Amino acid sequence: MIGKMALSDSEGPVLDPIVSIRYIITIEPKEKAKVNFITGYAETRDLALGLIEKYHDSGLTERAHSLAWTHNQMIMQQLNITETDMEAYLRLAGAVIYHGSNWRAATSTLLNNQSGQSALWAYGISGDIPIVLLTIRDRSYIDLAHQLMRAHAYWHTMGLAVDLVIWNGDSTGTGSSFRTILWA
């Protein structure tokens, strides 16, 4: 049995808005069912309806999935990353986009900043897009810096604009050194 059940159709201002779809499928013993769930967006309702019609065909849906998988494999090969790396980059991208307080500088550090966004411009940073900052204190951070540079390349390939700043904060040697490496 396949059928739709109406949801409450309630709406309004809430803290955690969602879109919910309910579709009931009853599978008898030894039966199989395949469900494709695709999300997307379009600039207009007509374009959205056109995409719905296009991807309603399960064969085309499977082809799109196959092409996406192949494209992803090519990107992984080009950037020399693994699926585990990619999953970590996606989790970190989520933290960049939906930043929580544990990923930000301490409140006291933010309040002490008197320079403003325009101070970033001398370093080639606009301040208009998220900034991922890595402070390197010694050589043990080098592998992390390389990993972040691969993450940045992956994000760029996927269309996520982020400025990566690697700050050499090593204070060994003759005083504190300050060098900034930008990967833009």
What is the mean pLDDT for each group of 10 consecutive residues in the chain (184 residues)?
Answer: 60 70 86 81 90 81 88 93 94 85 80 87 88 87 91 94 86 50 49
pLDDT at res. 176: 47
Residue 182 domain boundaries: 81-184
To the nearest 10 degrees (0 to 180), the angle between helices 83-97 and 58-79 is 100
Q: Is residue 71 part of a domain?
A: no
pLDDT at res. 172: 60
Q: Is residue 5 part of a domain?
A: no
Q: How many structural domains is the chain composed of? A: 1
Q: Is residue 153 part of a domain?
A: yes
pLDDT at res. 2: 53
Q: Number of C-alpha atoms within 13 angstroms, CB side, residue 45?
A: 0
**Against a cut of 0.75, is the pTM above it?**
no
Measure the CA–CA gap between 10 and 52, rounded to whole angstroms.
24
pLDDT at res. 23: 78
pLDDT at res. 177: 47
- What H or E segment, with its residue span, contains residue 93? helix 83-97
pLDDT at res. 73: 94
Measure the CA–CA gap between 50 and 87, rounded to whole angstroms.
32
pLDDT at res. 180: 47
pLDDT at res. 122: 87
pLDDT at res. 174: 46
Q: Is residue 107 part of a domain?
A: yes
